[in-house]
Amino acid sequence: MSRCLVPGSFDPVTNGHMDIIRRAAALFDEVTVGVLHNPEKAGYFPVPKRVEMLEKACAGLKNVRIIAYGGLLARLTRETGIRVVVRGVRGVQDLESETAMARINGTLDPGLETVFLPAFPGFEQVSASMVRQILLFGGDPAAFVPPEVLEDIMAGFAK
Ligand code: PNS
């Protein structure tokens, strides 16, 4: 059975993330979406809320499960035995930082491969930080986030 990990902060989940998760779900038998977080950093949305929103957005994808993990990605892959990490790349800037991360992770967990999926047209500009900025300035992020979680995102921001 082929398995992969799609890691990220998902703070919050965006349409760009969903593009990558859907494509990973078509390529692998089982996809684990990992909300990787630094326990020392608060982030914007609480981790359980990020997991809940991903669960809603991925409800139609039967081979996708969501987990939260507060530690090194390479430790998670060692613990789970997952041998492939899938990351989306939006452009050359992403490619540079993602290549560095892939090399570090492959050194910490030898044999671990990182597969890059290029963002499809329309998703190159979408990022969670951009969504947070739209919210901060009172804008409407509806075009950039899954419709299933828009209400949660707006309610989370109101708090
Ligand atoms: O959605 P993001 O913020 O681009 O995701 C980045 C993430 C969470 C995948 C990355 O920061 C990560 O893997 N964090 C866990 C700690 C780790 O293993 N870092 C890489 C080695 S220094």
φ, ψ (nearest 5 deg) of residue 79:
-65, -40
Parent domain of 23: 3-158
pLDDT in tens, 18-65: 999 999 999 999 999 999 998 888 899 999 999 999 999 999 999 999
In this prediction, residues 125-141 reach a mean pLDDT of: 95
Number of domains in the chain: 1
pLDDT given for residue 96 in this prediction: 97
Our mutation pick for probing the ligand 1 site, out of 47, 96, 101, counting the most ligand atoms within 8 A of Cβ, is 101
Report the CATH number that the domain containing residue 116 is assigned in CATH: 3.40.50.620
Q: Are strands 3-8 and 113-118 parallel, antiparallel or unpaired?
A: unpaired
Ligand 1 in contact with 7 (CB < 6 A)? Answer: yes
Ligand 1 in contact with 104 (CB < 6 A)? Answer: yes
pTM of the entire predicted model: 0.97
Residue 139: pLDDT over 90 = yes
Ligand 1 atom with least separation from CA of 7: 9
Least Cα distance to 86 among 3, 2, 12, 4 occurs for 4
pLDDT in tens, 96-106: 999 999 999 99
Ligand 1 atom with least separation from CA of 73: 18
pLDDT given for residue 158 in this prediction: 66
In this prediction, residues 123-136 reach a mean pLDDT of: 94
Q: Tell me the C-alpha distance between 113 and 135, whole Å.
A: 35
Which residue's CA is minimally distant from atom 6 of ligand 1?
Answer: 8
Q: Are strands 64-69 and 113-118 parallel, antiparallel or unpaired?
A: unpaired
